[in-house]
Amino acid sequence: MNLVIIKYNAGNVQSVLFALERLGISAIVSDDPELIQKADKVILPGVGEAGSAMKYLVENNLDKTIRALRQPVLGICLGLQLLCKYSEEGDVNCLGLFDIDVRKFQSPSKEKLKVPHTGWNTITGLKSDLFKGIPEDSYMYFVHSYYAEMGINAISTTDYISCFSSALQKDNFYAVQFHPEKSGDDGQKLLENFMQL
């Protein structure tokens, strides 16, 4: 299988590579549009800032490349947010593949919920073959200060400060806010399911 991880100067690529290696899958890390277009599967991972990430994608014509992909694509963390319409982080228009805005968590002062949302939390309302064999209310590992609002493309939700879309799907585009590569057996199962789509 020809798997490409899109390089766009965001962190977290190495941990995704290690998780794939545990499944016996090797991947190419590239920002070459031609290599990305020819891939069987594409992953857009990321830890970073939406404004600078979108700047890199646009400057390298990767925004157009990603929008035109027809094979299965998986966005992880910042990757999910970039696939949405708009992000408050950097006040930037994103790729627009999901008609959803990304907002910053506003922590209520009376509660002890901190921003960023860091640690294990449950995912509920699971839909799609991405979650095949993963139980409802499974725990996944999150690290984020911004979240995708609820929308019709949500295939899982998580409650932290407010209810948000913790996974999205539209056509061949899949995305998760949590880090499957850091989420134990269930996270590994999700990556395996993506490989089998």
pLDDT at 11 over 90: no
Task: Identify the active-site residue in 77, 89, 94, 117.
Answer: 77
Torsion of CA 142, 71, 23, 32, to 10 degrees: -90
Convert the pLDDT of each residue in 33-49 to its tens digit: 999 999 999 999 989 99
> In this structure, which CATH number among 3.40.50.880, 3.40.50.1010, 3.90.1150.10, 3.40.605.10 belongs to the domain 3-196?
3.40.50.880
- Specify whether 117 is catalytic: no
The residue annotated as part of the active site, out of 84, 89, 144, 181, is: 181
pLDDT in tens, 48-79: 999 999 999 999 999 999 999 999 999 999 99
Residue 181: closest CA among 16, 71, 1 = 16
Backbone φ and ψ for 115, nearest 5 degrees, come out as: -115, 125
What is the residue extent of each domain of the chain?
3-196
pTM value?
0.97
Query: Which position among 84, 94, 144, 179 bears the catalytic label?
Result: 179
pLDDT at 126: 98
Is 179 assigned a catalytic role?
Answer: yes
